[in-house]
Amino acid sequence: MFQKYIVYLKNLIFFQFIIYFFFISLTVWVIKSLQQEYAQSILDKQLAQESLTEEVLKLYSVQNSKEEILESYKKYVDLSLPNKVTCLNYQELIPKIKGLSNKYNLLEPIDISINSVFFKNNIPAIENENKNIRVNNYSINIKYAAVDFITFLKIFHEIYSYMPPNTLISFVRVRNEEVLTPKNIYKLSVAHPPNLIYAKLILYIRELSST
């Protein structure tokens, strides 16, 4: 009788262990699945936010350039450009943009480069009333990092305000690093929060100039 009772207890404990193990395994599996879904939703939200930001910035450049493009086109058609028209001033533009690094207390200085661009369909120089009118194309490449999206947008707005008329945004890449990487950890400082928003801009300028 006692042995049967012992066997009964062993079987009961064994089945209880199986049941508890099953429920614990199921709970762990559900938690891991929820964690994966949550991580994926965070990633999807981040990608959607970055994509939306890029499209909004491109649309911003088009909307703000509409009137300026029409005015420049009218001048181009009428050939009424004044002498020595200069839209792009390297000596003023580059220091202004780089100065935003100090204004917004950026951890890293803004990187900017301006290059002449030669397209296959470049418009040749046009002579009119002893004036030589040319169309120059420039590519402006800018890289900078900010602590959040608000600071990123403020810097972008100021950068764009410094640009000459008809500036169009050709490429925008915004990367949001919500997790500290070894590179970010290496740059951590008690005097400055870490950069989480990394941006790269490519702007194209078509300049009408007469000499």
Instruction: Give tens-digit pLDDT for 83-94.
Output: 444 445 667 888
Maximum CA extent, the chain: 122
Among 126, 6, 39, smallest CA distance to 78 is for: 126
Q: How far apart are CA 79 and CA 210, in angstroms?
A: 10
Question: For 67-83, what is the mean pLDDT?
Answer: 50
How does DSSP classify residue 81?
P
Query: Would you say 88 and 138 are in contact if contact means Cβ atoms under 8 Å apart?
Result: yes
pLDDT given for residue 87 in this prediction: 46
Q: Is residue 116 classed as helix, strand or coil in its secondary structure? A: strand
Among 6-10, 138-142, 163-167, 179-183, where is mean pLDDT lowest?
A: 6-10
pLDDT given for residue 54 in this prediction: 66
pLDDT given for residue 82 in this prediction: 43
How far apart, in Å, are the Cα atoms of 195 and each of 111, 134, 184, 202? 15, 42, 7, 21
Q: Is the pLDDT of residue 77 over 80?
A: no
pLDDT given for residue 59 in this prediction: 61
Question: Which contiguous run of DSSP H or E holds residue 98?
Answer: helix 90-103
pLDDT given for residue 5 in this prediction: 58
pLDDT band at 80 (very low <50, low <70, confident <90, very high): very low
Query: Would you say 110 and 97 are in contact if contact means Cβ atoms under 8 Å apart?
Result: yes
Q: Which residues pair with 112 in a beta bridge?
A: 142
Q: Is the pLDDT of residue 39 over 90?
A: no
